Amino acid sequence: MIEQFLQYLTHERNYSPHTVSAYARDLRQWHEYAGAGGRRAVDYASVSSADIRLWVVSLADAGDAPRTLRRKVQAVRALFRWLMRRGVVAANPAADVELARLDKPLPHFVRESTLDALLDSDVDRDDMVAVRDRLLVLMLYGTGMRRAELIGLLDSAVDVPNRQLRVHGKRDKDRVIPFGDELAQWIIHYRELRSREHCDGDTFFTRRDGKPLYPSYIYKVVHRDLSAAGGSGQLSPHVLRHSFATAMLNGGAQLGAVKELLGHSSLATTQVYTHVTLSELKQNYKLAHPRAIKKGGDYGS
């Protein structure tokens, strides 16, 4: 039956040889399990969801990763869909088997020491472009805004006296983000240089012709500056957003407050950063606590 299904995938569905090969491995493995290693014939009509769940549990116990488990269940689901169309079975027992959840990769962030080294380094304060580029890095890290929000930031939305700015985010929602004195002083100086060069525009960050910056330029600036400061891994504008959230939570900010600052629609989206800070906490513990770094040792001595 499995061989007929594989022929169906190859000749009628035009699946790639790679995909068919993967289905073949997974389904033959399931068939061997369902047939007790070949000691009995597989009665497809009697297979239950519980049978498939037990198979998945055995695979997990053997060390299969969640992504592998998902693929194998999906292969069995596809087989039983085909068997239903042929009238071999009345229902798909794999349809009720929950797929293994994939671990979401933790957001990459830049360490505070690296960002401090960058933002405290010298810059030509008479050069409008140099000041603008330093300011955009500082603003991304200091507010957590997205790159698109930074590009679309209006000059009128940056309120220095009240130390706040208004960004237009996803789903056409505006939010207000406070900022500190350091950012305020850079904003004032940048505006002075921008006016001196007559490149003012409706948007806050402009090129010399008064037009907004473009996404690839902002990426280039962030990657260049973080690399020069010793950063490694992903060095994109979005990493500065991750770094903002991580720094806020490490500094004691409430999760709900960080959610509002980032413009997340759901608290669950923000909670991923608690895993980052917990990971950092564990690493600091391992590096600092004498018992954490002790290798082996005697119990109760």
Residues, the chain, total? 301
Active site residue 238: yes
Structure tokens belonging to residue 273? 């950063």
Q: Beta 158-159 vs 164-168: how paired, if at all?
A: antiparallel
8 A C-beta contact, residue 109 and residue 246: yes
Exactly one of 72, 147, 241, 259 is catalytic; which is it? Answer: 241
* Residues facing 154 on adjacent strands: 203
Q: Looking up tokens 């720094």, which residue turns up?
A: 247
All residues at 6 or more sequence positions from 22 whose CB lies less than 8 Å from its CB, including other chains: 71, 75
CA distances from 166 to 79, 145, 191 (A): 53, 10, 17
Tokens for 103, please give them: 């671990």
Of the residues 146, 147, 242, 259, only one is catalytic, namely 146
Q: Which residues contact 99 (CB under 8 A, 6 or more apart)?
A: 69, 70, 73, 74
Which DSSP symbol is given to 91?
A: S
Catalytic (active site) residue 132: no
Residue 246: which of 208, 276, 219, 215 has the closest Cα? 276
Rounded-to-integer distance, Cα 125 and Cα 189, Å = 8
CA distance 22 to 70: 13
User: What's at 66, amino acid-wise?
Assistant: P
Tell me whether residue 18 is one of the annotated catalytic residues.
no
- d(CA 138, CA 142) in angstroms, rounded, equals 6
Active-site choice (28, 67, 170, 275): 170
Q: Is residue 170 among the annotated active site residues? A: yes
CB atoms within 10 A of CB 163: 14
Catalytic residues: 146, 170, 238, 241, 264, 273
